[in-house]
């Protein structure tokens, strides 16, 4: 494998990993991240040997920072949480480096779109993609989020059901049928979304605050009117 990569070393002359220990990355790890970022197939089978935070490489005489975080190797049926901007995209790991996930029609591969799209209702396409392609430069982790609440289906059943949906259109709704609902339903038979839960709590808090503010203003007006009328009556006397 090293011989196959000799021609690529000129493109990846310098590589440094900035992490909590400030340790350098080995060349193969650097080239894996470099080629994952720039689309080459040469290093597609190389496994990263370090837990990376920020990778800096020299590409065409320009310093390029590549964000990359690699978790332990997922097992089939695991849920994958991908951090895209302020939201998360969810998928099911189906083996051999592939994931199954629901992607709204408006979502473009590699875009910053997420399961919490602003579009309220539309169709989603179930896709089977390479995990590293969908992750891109984003962070990700294995997150079987509801294992303590529900018993997961057997892994082979999760994978079978997920793969049976690949290529099909499914309903999509940001509040009831987003990609997190899709993933959790496959694993637990329960379509739940932590993102929606959090959003609902925030909205309820806002309305509660508005309610308290309205009550405070009404009370203030009542007291002003009450004491104001008493003052006027006293002045008249």
**Catalytically annotated residues:** 89, 101, 179
Order the strands of the 87-95 sheet from edge to edge.
139-142, 79-84, 87-95, 98-104, 121-130, 169-173
Write out the E strands in 96-205: 98-104, 121-130, 139-142, 169-173
Contact 135, 69 (CB under 8 A): no
Nearest to 131 by CA among 165, 91, 103, 163: 91
Distance CA 207, CA 201 (A): 10
Q: What angle do CA 230, 233, 234 make, to 5 degrees?
A: 85
Residue 143, SS3? coil
In sequence order, what are the residues at sequence separation of 6 or more whose Cβ sits closer than 8 angstroms to the Cβ of residue 138?
67, 82, 83, 84
The tokens of 72 are what? 């332990």
Cα–Cα distance for residue pair 207/9, rounded to 1 Å? 58
Instruction: Measure the CA dihedral 37/41/46/48, to 10°.
Output: 10
The answer to whether the beta carbons of residues 145 and 184 sit under 8 Å apart is yes
């Amino acid at each position: 494998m090293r011989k196959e990569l000799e021609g690529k070393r000129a493109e990846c002359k310098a590589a440094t990993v900035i992490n909590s220990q400030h340790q350098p990355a080995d060349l193969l790890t650097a080239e894996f991240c470099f080629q994952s970022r720039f689309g080459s197939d040469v290093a597609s089978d190389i496994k990263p040997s370090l837990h990376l935070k920020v990778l800096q490489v020299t590409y065409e005489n320009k310093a390029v920072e590549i964000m990359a975080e690699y978790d332990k190797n997922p097992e089939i049926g695991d849920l994958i949480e991908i951090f895209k901007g302020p939201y998360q995209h969810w998928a099911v790991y189906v083996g051999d480096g592939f994931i199954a996930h629901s992607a709204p029609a408006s979502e473009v591969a590699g875009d910053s779109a997420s399961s919490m799209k602003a579009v309220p209702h539309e169709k989603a396409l179930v896709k089977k993609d390479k995990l590293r392609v969908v992750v891109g430069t984003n962070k990700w982790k294995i997150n079987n989020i509801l294992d303590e609440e529900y018993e997961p289906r057997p892994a082979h059943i999760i994978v079978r059901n997920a793969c049976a949906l690949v290529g099909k259109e499914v309903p999509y709704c940001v509040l009831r049928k987003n990609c997190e609902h899709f993933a959790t339903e496959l694993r637990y038979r329960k379509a739940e979304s932590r993102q929606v839960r959090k959003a609902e709590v925030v909205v309820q808090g806002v309305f509660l605050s508005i309610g308290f503010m309205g009550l405070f203003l009404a009370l203030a007006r009542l007291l002003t009117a009450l004491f104001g009328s008493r003052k006027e009556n006293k002045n008249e006397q």
